[in-house]
Amino acid sequence: MILTVTLNAALDITYRVPRLQPHSTHRVTEVCERPGGKGLNVARVLTALGHEAVATGFAGGGTGDALRSLLAQETSVTDALVPVGGATRRTVAVVDESTGDTTQLNEPGPIVTPAEWDAFMTTYRELLADARAVALCGSLPPGVPVDVYARLTRAARTADVPVLLDTSGEPLRRGLAARPDLAKPNADELAALTGSTEPLRAARDARRRGAHTVAASLGADGMLMVTADGAWQAAPPRRIAGNPTGAGDSAVAGLLSGLVEDLPWPARLTHAVALSAATVRAPAAGEFDRPTYEELLKSITVTEHPPAA
């Protein structure tokens, strides 16, 4: 199975309104609630691809109960979330139907106590025993030390389980030092980490900081992958219109799928880009449009970059 870790899971709530206007009252035309957080989105896509996925992290309070109930109803993802006393956060998205723009409100998440963290680590180490790969995803809740992804990476490496790291800021910087097998920042996260806005240079810099491979999401321009064996870039043959929410999470699922299937690097990149673009065509994060995915697998071209000077 493939293990995904979402330390700051969320109940995603989406409101749709005809037009969003500050300082006014709105009539909501549609409300949608679904389990959220990067690792949960990754797990849903993995199960749709035919892989067994187990999701762990934290869940607590009435919001956590609602998240777990929805997760059990809508997917085949195995729930291994660890209970906490605090309430799981909510993320509220308000979609302006007149423009398609989305306003996002993200709560910080529950405060995790030392005892709750110890319980999670026990669960995590037990799950690693059966994992073929692990993805460490997203932001950290209050009370969790900033170096936890480095700790989780070292524990996985001790268990001989490949690690994919998908986070940002200081957790990314510290996590890289623990030498994950793969890091997947987006272009902005990569620039913040390295100080370089040139993606290839920044990805090579990030790799020197510890990651064996860096796969950088470039939005509509696809993805760049830098490995010990070379560097490649791929993008959809045309711009895909739709909602980009969750596209990066689907890319992570594509990279993990390629890893456990032992595909060549360019093939892993193709799968990641195709899934990311197909998610733009889907109605919600954690889903992808299968016809778009299958069509893009045949049409994406991978370009190899020359070696660094």
Q: Is position 101 annotated as part of the catalytic site?
A: no
Which of 101, 249, 262, 289 does the annotation list as catalytic? 249
Give yes or no for a contact between 279 and 247, defined as CB atoms under 8 angstroms apart. Answer: yes
Place of tokens 């309070």: 61
What DSSP string describes the chain? -EEEEETT-EEEEEEEES---TTS----SEEEEEEESHHHHHHHHHHHTT--EEEEEEEEHHHHHHHHHHHHHH---EEEEEEESSPPEEEEEEEETTT--EEEEE---PPPPHHHHHHHHHHHHHHHTT-SEEEEES---TTS-TTHHHHHHHHHHHTT--EEEE--HHHHHHHHHT--SEE--BHHHHHHHHS--SHHHHHHHHHHTT-SEEEEE-GGG-EEEE-SS-EEEEE-SSPPPS--TTHHHHHHHHHHHHHHTT--HHHHHHHHHHHHHHHHTSSSTT---HHHHHHHHHH-EEEEEPPP-
Instruction: Give all strands of the β-sheet with 30-36 in edge-to-edge order.
Output: 30-36, 10-17, 89-96, 102-106
Residues annotated as catalytic are 249
